[in-house]
Amino acid sequence: GTLLAQMQTNKPSFILLRWPELRRAQDQVLVVLANLPSIEADLDAGAVVVIEQLRIRIRALPIGRE
């Protein structure tokens, strides 16, 4: 996040999984695929997507833009 903020770029997008129970890669893939339709446009535009158990947070890139 800090590097992206300093670079002031809108790529690359990334997904951060903050869901401690999702330890297995297979489970992580299922969660990402299940949520992909709702986050795909944001990822294409440039975003940091944080997937938690009860919510999804999306922050547009570049970080810190007005």
Residue 24 DSSP SS3: coil
pLDDT at 4 over 70: no
Strand ranges across the sheet with 47-52: 14-18, 47-52, 56-60
Enter the tokens of residue 62.
């570049």
What is the pLDDT confidence band of residue 6, given thresholds at 50, 70 and 90? Answer: low
Model pLDDT for residues 43-64, shown as the tens digit of each residue: 999 999 999 999 999 999 887 7
Q: How many CB atoms lie within 10 A of CB 49?
A: 21
Enter the tokens of residue 19.
């869901």
Residue boundaries of the structural domains of the chain: 2-60
Rounded to 5 degrees, φ, ψ at 26 are -60, -40
Whether the link from the prior residue into 20 is cis, omega within 30° of 0, is no
pLDDT at 56: 98
